[in-house]
Amino acid sequence: MTDDVLGEDPVAPDLPAVRDIFSAPSHRSSASTYLRPTDPFPDLTVLTLRDLQILHSRVARQREAEYLTLEGPHPVTLDRLEELTRVLDSQDHQLP
């Protein structure tokens, strides 16, 4: 695994699951920083650390927005955030 250098665009494999997330129709702008429960969710095992961190940020922002509603956070959002946290934690334990 290589470190990303600020300002450089690392070459990433073309992953359809990731592409689907960013191209999914949404009521928000196409550059949304949220991931709604109805948006597609990729196989986390094929994502780079950077993509995992971006996805975690989007799901966490979605949870924060849902806390402001009467219904509270959506169960899908909570499950996704928990799964992402587990994967990120396991990657932390694999670092030298």
Rounded Cα distance between 44 and 46, Å, is 5
Q: Which pLDDT score is estimated for 84?
A: 98
Higher pLDDT, 37 or 96: 37
Query: Does residue 74 form part of some domain?
Result: yes
Query: Does residue 44 form part of some domain?
Result: yes
Query: Does residue 45 form part of some domain?
Result: yes
Query: Does residue 46 form part of some domain?
Result: yes
Higher pLDDT, 32 or 38: 38
Structure token digits, residue 19: 């592409």
Task: Identify the helix (H) or strand (E) that includes residue 64.
Answer: helix 49-67
- pLDDT value at 88 more than 50: yes
- Residues 33-60 have pLDDT tens digits of 999 999 999 999 999 999 999 999 999 9
Query: Does residue 68 form part of some domain?
Result: yes
Query: Does residue 88 form part of some domain?
Result: yes
Query: Does residue 67 form part of some domain?
Result: yes
Segment 70-89 shows an average pLDDT of: 97
Give the largest CA-CA distance in the chain. 44
Report pTM.
0.68
Intra-chain end-to-end CA distance of the chain, in Å: 11
Structure token digits, residue 15: 């992953």
Domain extent at residue 60: 38-94
Query: Does residue 28 form part of some domain?
Result: no
Tell the burial category of 15 from Cβ atoms under 10 Å away from its Cβ (0-12, 13-18, 19+).
middle
Number of domains, the chain: 1
